[in-house]
Amino acid sequence: MKQQKSNTTHEASFRDPSGYMFYDGDALRRQVNPIYFKQYHALKEQGIFKTLIKNKLLIAHQETAVSDDGIVITPEPIPFITNPYEWSFEQYKHAALHTLQVHKFALSKGFILKDASAYNITFHKGKPIFIDTLSFDFYKEGEPWRAYKQFITHFFGPLVLAKHHGAKVFQMMQTHIDGIPMDLIASMLPSKTKLSPTLYTNIHLLAKAEGKHNKDYKAETKTVSLSLKAQNNIIDSLFDYIKKLSIEETTEWGDYYTKTNYEKAAFANKAAIIKEWVSEEQPKKLIDVGGNDGTFAREVLPTVPDVLVTDIDPEAVGQNYKLAIKNKEQNMLAFVCDVLQPAPGIGFNNTERDSLITRLQNYAPDVTMALALIHHITLSGNVPFVKSAQFFASFSHTLLIEFPKREDTWVASLLMRKREFIQHFDFYNEAEFEAGYGKLFTIEKKIAVAGTERVMYLMKRK
């Protein structure tokens, strides 16, 4: 299942001439080109890397090879990379604040972040981490921040848009790999935002200035000077503003577990089955697809070293993320995913950022859980059983799946919404489900969840 990746350059790192990522067998390493030696040595010798790594701002690395043609560093492996369009509001916000912290620290030591791409951050051990070790450069006296606009289009703009339109605007990062265009950000904001000094200057004025100078084909390299103090003011004020940003969204599920048909005993029965079956598999990696705020994944969290939980609802993902921080869980990674439209491969050649399926195939979870999900895929998405079976089979060999019967209140409600087409969904029953999944999986276990109209299955890919 795993893709052959030995000695190939990583598709995401061709832009920066300072170096590139490559696969050495299964290990992902980073080549530092001679053009970046000066910066690299300065960062290393002045202890910048060390402090950043110690403070968990930058991913740790080992220098594994040194020659005149290049230095090879091997970063600590990150099991699964999530991209900005898969983050909840809280995650996005923390990623932005994290970037500013890194830049501010670099500035205090005579360096800058030369780019502020949202892809420089991912989530690892429950927190954001800066992963592009070669993103630093020397600060030049009086030089404005070259990555300023990038920070606005990758972080500040999307966050402010999310405040007004909800976390679903982060999806726009899928179609704009270089950040949401300035004019689009400005035009999507209500005009009252012009009254805020921070939003007026950092967004509306910037969009205007960019619009004016975009048509400048002379490619002027006008030198503008900005003091260090002034630059610090910009980033301090952005930090303060972002820190206070919040969104009011009512979640799709919200208090799902209180409003659904779960009774305490039924909930406990389901949890017991999950715990027993998962522990028998002894998985190292597990994914819960449609796992809401991680309630059921937490039942097995202490015994599984690495757990991913996805949900379509950014609010549920945000709650999961906050809970993981509160509980200091390092093995829980929450991200947003719509099973009916998983993140595609994007960027140049469609390979710069891998599709969700490719990433899941490389991650190769030992167990995949899909609890209370199949009725949504089948009835809301009109996806035939064999099709959804293909989806799960594409990245997992062990599937723990829950099938809510027609008598389940959720299913009944979804069926009711079909109105006069309800008879088209007569196939939604246990026998058809087993026949569809049976084409790709062997059903090893089956048990009814006592106190519910639901059945649990454990299946192995054929």
Partner 1 sequence: MYFLYFDPGLGAMIIQGLVAFAAGILLFSKGVMYKIKGLFGLNKEEEDTYDSIDIDQTDDDEATEK
Site of interaction with partner 1 (CB under 8 A): 15-18, 35-36, 47, 50-51, 54-55, 57, 93-94, 97-98, 100-101, 104-105, 114-115, 127, 137, 144-150, 152, 178, 182, 197-198, 200-202, 205-206, 208-214, 216, 220, 222, 224-227, 230-231, 233-240, 243, 325
CB 120, min distance to partner 1, A: 12
Nearest alpha-carbon partner for 341 in 330, 359, 357, 363 = 357
Of residues 191 and 221, the one with the C-beta less far from partner 1: 221
Residue 266 three-state SS: helix
Of residues 146 and 406, the one with the C-beta less far from partner 1: 146
Instruction: Look up residue 25 and give its two tokens.
Output: 């067998």
Q: CA 94 → CA 149, 318, 333, 398, distances in Å?
A: 19, 11, 14, 34
Of residues 236 and 426, the one with the C-beta less far from partner 1: 236
In 131-226 the beta strands, taken as DSSP E runs, fall at 136-138
Of residues 212 and 419, the one with the C-beta less far from partner 1: 212
CB 305, min distance to partner 1, A: 23
Measured distance between the N- and C-terminal CA atoms of the chain, rounded to whole angstroms: 13
Give, as one character, the DSSP assignment of residue 155. Answer: I
CB 71, min distance to partner 1, A: 16
Of residues 210 and 366, the one with the C-beta less far from partner 1: 210
Residue 159 three-state SS: helix
Q: What is the CA radius of gyration of the chain?
A: 24
CB 284, min distance to partner 1, A: 28
- Whether residue 432 contacts residue 385, with contact meaning beta carbons closer than 8 Å, is answered with yes
CB 105, min distance to partner 1, A: 5
Of residues 151 and 433, the one with the C-beta less far from partner 1: 151
CB 101, min distance to partner 1, A: 6
CB 300, min distance to partner 1, A: 25
CB 178, min distance to partner 1, A: 7
| Amino acid in position 393 | A
Give the chain's length. Answer: 462
Of residues 47 and 305, the one with the C-beta less far from partner 1: 47
The alpha helices in 377-454, defined as continuous H runs, are: 385-393, 409-416, 430-438
Nearest alpha-carbon partner for 444 in 391, 395, 400 = 400
Degrees (nearest 5) of the Cα angle 408, 411, 413? 110
Three-state SS for 84-141 is HHHCCHHHHHHHHHHHHHHHHHHHHCCEEECCCCHHHEEEECCEEEECCCCCEEECCC
Of residues 2 and 212, the one with the C-beta less far from partner 1: 212
Of residues 50 and 406, the one with the C-beta less far from partner 1: 50
CB 273, min distance to partner 1, A: 35
CB 156, min distance to partner 1, A: 11
- Whether residue 70 contacts residue 33, with contact meaning beta carbons closer than 8 Å, is answered with yes
Decide: residue 443, CB within 10 A, 0-12 exposed, 13-18 middle, 19+ buried.
Answer: middle
Of residues 146 and 176, the one with the C-beta less far from partner 1: 146
Of residues 214 and 382, the one with the C-beta less far from partner 1: 214
Angle, helix 228-244 to helix 89-108, in steps of 10 degrees:
160
Q: Which residues of 247-286 are buried (b: 16+ CB within 10 A; e: fewer)?
A: bebebebbebeeeeebeeebbebbbebbeebbeebebebb
CB 149, min distance to partner 1, A: 4
Pairwise CA distance, residues 87 & 314, whole Å: 7
